[in-house]
A = this chain, B = another copy of it.
């Protein structure tokens, strides 16, 4: 089904199709579709736009990523389907690896995601190694790559789950995330939380990093993630919801 670009919900519908395609090609999990639906609802309540609280978090994220010694971008089944291209641009701008780390562990799906990223032009794509463990996590999800997340001082993990965000923080890493639910554990735990749709936020983050790289001085600013979350929650509660929207 071809969706006309003039359709009022063009981006939302296209995003759904991309994820459904991700499921069909074995990259995205069924649970990932449900998680995306939750995001859609919060995005709808946020008016499906990038707010000031997101823009501030994006500027700070660029700042922290550029200052990092070993930044790593963590990729899962939803982000691989939605923003592989932007991830690859980011990894080149930051000279950092991409590491596949998925919630519902599956060797087969990990390999498919890796191949998908390489096909799109990625250079370094790491997978988990049994030797390297993030403390505080159960199951296969605790394994990371020895040259990737294990070493990282800053981990960029959009659309992450709460347990993992907490474990990364407890292991001394800075966590930058993108999450549409400002009340989620991930949002509350992360060092920097970008409350926005990843499809809108990633191009802005790329632009911000290019801008900050050019200016060659890091934009020093006061940043308070709790305040950012408060603003997002306030919008959720008082926001002018549109008419219509997902039924």
Min CB gap A39→B, angstroms: 7
Partner of A37, one of B37, B161, B187, B242: B37
Which residues of chain A from 204 to 247 have a CB within 8 Å of any chain B CB? 237-238, 241-247
Assess the A245–B39 pair: CB atoms within 8 A.
no
Min CB gap A228→B, angstroms: 17
Of A27-35, A92-100, A112-120, A124-132, the one touching chain B: A27-35
Q: In the assembly, what is the distance between CA of A241 and CA of B181, in Å?
A: 12
Q: In the assembly, what is the distance between CA of A160 and CA of B245, in Å?
A: 13
A133 at the interface (CB under 8 A from B): no
Which residues of chain A from 13 to 59 have a CB within 8 Å of any chain B CB? 16, 19-20, 23, 30-31, 33-42, 44
Assess the B34–A41 pair: CB atoms within 8 A.
no
A67 at the interface (CB under 8 A from B): no
Interface residues on A, range: 35 or more
Q: In the assembly, what is the distance between CA of A188 and CA of B179, in Å?
A: 28
Across-interface contacts of A39 in B (CB, < 8 A): 37, 41
Assess the A184–B246 pair: CB atoms within 8 A.
yes
Partner of A185, one of B160, B181, B185, B244: B244
A186 at the interface (CB under 8 A from B): yes
Q: In the assembly, what is the distance between CA of A16 and CA of B246, in Å?
A: 19
Find the B residue at minimum CB distance from A184: B247
Find the B residue at minimum CB distance from A189: B247
Across-interface contacts of A20 in B (CB, < 8 A): 30-31
A162 at the interface (CB under 8 A from B): yes
Across-interface contacts of A162 in B (CB, < 8 A): 244, 247
Across-interface contacts of A179 in B (CB, < 8 A): 247
Q: In the assembly, what is the distance between CA of A67 and CA of B95, in Å?
A: 69
List the 5 shortest-distance A-B pairs measured between CB atoms, nearest first.
Answer: A37-B37, A41-B41, A184-B247, A34-B37, A33-B33
Residue numbers of A with Cβ under 8 A of B are 16, 19-20, 23, 30-31, 33-42, 44, 160-162, 165, 179, 181, 183-188, 237-238, 241-247
Report 23 cross-chain contacts, Cβ distance below 8 Å, ordered by A residue: A20-B30, A23-B30, A33-B33, A33-B34, A33-B37, A34-B34, A37-B38, A37-B39, A37-B40, A37-B41, A38-B38, A38-B40, A39-B41, A41-B42, A41-B181, A162-B247, A181-B247, A183-B242, A183-B243, A185-B247, A186-B247, A188-B243, A237-B237
